[in-house]
């Protein structure tokens, strides 16, 4: 046999050999999908009534208005119809006010709020919701001046990319502890290419979610800050609808063999923010932004299971974002989960209690910021919490 034939055979054998883990992964994802269906079929109504209605939606979304996104309103609106709200965060432009031109108001069942993503001269990056016509030129302001200006106008100011945050003491409202975009950048492209080759057709969403990792350092930062002040933990989609490839195409958008990994609809189905608004109050821009500001929110990997009915309460009267004063008696923290999981309670970032099931109760005797993480450990999903709550503050 000629040498080149031998080399070719060895090469083909090697290529086949390295497929084995990815083929096994395809098998595992199929099993996981079945197990998720089974677990969700055992869902129970939540026994704890907290007096709130729950709304689900996404925060941190771009369209082509602000550059480096190919997303259009035509794609975005239909992709959002499973959501109650979308907080837009367009990049700013020197030429026009992107907040005035992006979506605002009700489109179908979904409420849009016209925010922007803004840099400051201090090197920090914020989501300003709603946005403002000054926001492009306000990139010259230092963070404190920026926050002072927009707090006076009662706009929501959330930290994006907390790993780059310099002004730790600034008076922002919340922190993006998990970013789908940041997580995607950490994915190994070689592994993902072969994973996608085998598993994307059957389980695209589940495959993407298997790459989620608990954002340890961002949670640590949020826990550290929550010791001193109230702030909201949330997840950002940072959706741009711009990751993909095509073989042939033209400027009119005609593309041959076009594969897009991050269309809005797919990205919006993976992880959402669930916001609590007091029963009887409508969902509108004002009530929504107030609830986010107040920390009446939890983050969930929705593709693993519908969390509706999750609750975290203190003495059956307070919930996430609330403060409660401690006296002689301990404070009873209760967690209820619609799906069975590993429930962990943290105080100031330190895990103080852990149990498996749908229900947990802990008697708190110390002051601190208490929050919850739930892991679907029976499905082997231990690298990333299914639910991350906002804190209850015991003072
Ligand atoms: Zn962004």
Distance between Cα 101 and ligand 1 center (Å): 17
Note the pTM of the prediction, 2 decimals: 0.92
**Measured distance CA(354)–CA(16) in Å, rounded:** 43
SS (H, E, C) 138-201: HHHCCHHHHHHHHHCCCCEEEECCHHHCCCCCCCCCEEEEEEHHHHHHCCCHHHHHHHHHHHHH
Distance between Cα 245 and ligand 1 center (Å): 21
Distance between Cα 283 and ligand 1 center (Å): 25
The secondary structure of 313-354 as a DSSP string is: EETTTEETT-EE---SSPEEEEEEEEEEEEEEEEETTEEEEE
Q: Which domains does the chain have, with CATH numbers?
A: 50-306 (3.20.20.140)
* Dihedral pair phi/psi, residue 174, rounded to 5°: -160, 175
Ion ligand 1 nearby residues (CB, 5 A): 117, 238
Distance between Cα 179 and ligand 1 center (Å): 9
Distance between Cα 48 and ligand 1 center (Å): 36
DSSP 229: S
Distance between Cα 129 and ligand 1 center (Å): 13
* pLDDT confidence tier of residue 309, bands split at 50, 70 and 90: confident
At residue 243, the pLDDT reads: 59
- pLDDT, one tens digit per residue, over 43-102 is 876 655 568 999 999 999 999 987 777 889 999 999 999 999 999 999 999 999 999 999
Distance between Cα 178 and ligand 1 center (Å): 13
Q: How many CB atoms lie within 10 A of CB 25?
A: 18
Distance between Cα 96 and ligand 1 center (Å): 18
Distance between Cα 238 and ligand 1 center (Å): 5
Query: Does residue 159 contact residue 128 with C-beta atoms inside 8 Å?
Result: no
Query: Does residue 87 contact residue 61 with C-beta atoms inside 8 Å?
Result: yes
* pLDDT confidence tier of residue 161, bands split at 50, 70 and 90: very high
- pLDDT, one tens digit per residue, over 123-145 is 999 999 999 999 999 989 999 99
**Measured distance CA(24)–CA(9) in Å, rounded:** 23
- pLDDT, one tens digit per residue, over 95-105 is 999 999 999 99
DSSP 381: B
């Amino acid at each position: 046999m000629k040498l080149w034939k031998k080399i070719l055979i060895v090469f083909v054998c090697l290529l086949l050999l390295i497929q084995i883990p990815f083929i096994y992964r395809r098998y595992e994802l199929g099993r996981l999908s079945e197990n998720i269906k089974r677990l969700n079929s055992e869902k129970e109504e939540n026994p704890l009534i907290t007096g709130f209605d729950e709304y689900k939606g996404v925060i941190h979304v771009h369209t082509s208005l602000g550059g480096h996104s190919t997303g259009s309103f035509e794609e975005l609106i239909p992709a959002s119809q499973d959501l109650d709200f979308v907080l837009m965060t367009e990049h700013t432009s020197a030429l026009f006010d992107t907040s005035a031109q992006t979506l605002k108001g009700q489109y179908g069942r979904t409420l849009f709020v016209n925010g922007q993503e803004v840099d400051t001269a201090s090197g920090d990056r914020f989501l300003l919701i709603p946005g403002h016509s000054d926001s492009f030129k306000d990139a010259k302001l230092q963070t404190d001046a920026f926050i002072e200006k927009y707090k006076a106008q009662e706009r929501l100011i959330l930290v994006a990319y907390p790993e780059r945050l310099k002004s730790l003491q600034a008076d922002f409202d919340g922190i993006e502890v998990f970013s789908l975009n940041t997580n995607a950048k950490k994915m190994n492209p070689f592994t993902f290419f072969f994973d996608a080759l085998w598993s994307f057709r059957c389980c695209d969403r589940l495959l993407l979610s298997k790459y989620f990792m608990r954002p340890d350092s961002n949670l640590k930062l949020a826990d550290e800050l929550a010791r001193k002040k109230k702030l909201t933990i949330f997840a950002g989609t940072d959706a741009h609808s711009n990751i993909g490839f095509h073989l042939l195409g033209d400027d009119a958008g005609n593309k041959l063999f076009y594969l897009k990994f991050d269309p809005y609809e797919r990205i919006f189905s993976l992880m959402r923010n669930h916001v609590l608004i007091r029963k009887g109050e409508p969902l509108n821009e004002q009530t929504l932004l107030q609830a986010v500001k107040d920390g009446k929110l939890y983050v969930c990997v929705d593709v693993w299971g519908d969390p509706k009915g999750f609750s975290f309460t203190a003495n059956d009267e307070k919930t996430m974002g609330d403060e409660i004063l401690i006296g002689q008696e301990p404070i009873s923290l209760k967690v209820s989960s619609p799906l069975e999981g590993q429930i962990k309670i943290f105080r100031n970032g330190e895990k103080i209690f852990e149990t498996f099931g749908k229900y947990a109760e802990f008697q708190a005797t110390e002051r601190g910021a208490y929050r919850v993480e739930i892991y679907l450990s029976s499905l082997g999903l231990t690298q990333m919490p299914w639910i991350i709550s906002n804190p209850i503050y015991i003072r």
